[in-house]
Amino acid sequence: MDFILTNFARIKIKKMEVTARINIDSPTGRKLVREIEKHKKVAEIEYPLPEDLQNCSAISHNEVWDKVWDKLSNHYNVNVRKLR
């Protein structure tokens, strides 16, 4: 919250927020989003995850590479980690 001192009194100013749904499939919607993104001090854009990804758990890049090495090792019947 921001505070303003006027006549020795403190007045609390609450930041107001607006939620807008913009269709970014259209050129006008994309143009609006680009314009809003230019104003970083007063506007913040959040891109929600698609519904099919909302309940997924993320894995680290090390876990991804472990899976890659495992798949390559299984495919070529060689321990690829030892070839590095």
Residue spans of the domains in the chain: they are 17-46
The pTM (predicted TM-score) of the whole model is: 0.47
What pLDDT sits at residue 9? 56
Least confident of 22-26, 35-39, 45-49, 64-68: 45-49
Give backbone dihedrals phi and psi of 80, rounded to 5 degrees, phi first.
-65, -25
Is residue 77 a contact partner of residue 71, using CB atoms and an 8 Å limit? Answer: no
Query: For residue 13, which of 22, 3, 21, 23 has the smallest C-alpha distance?
Result: 3
What pLDDT sits at residue 56? 76
- Residue 66's pLDDT band, with cuts at 50, 70 and 90, is very high
For residues 47 and 28, the model is more confident at: 28
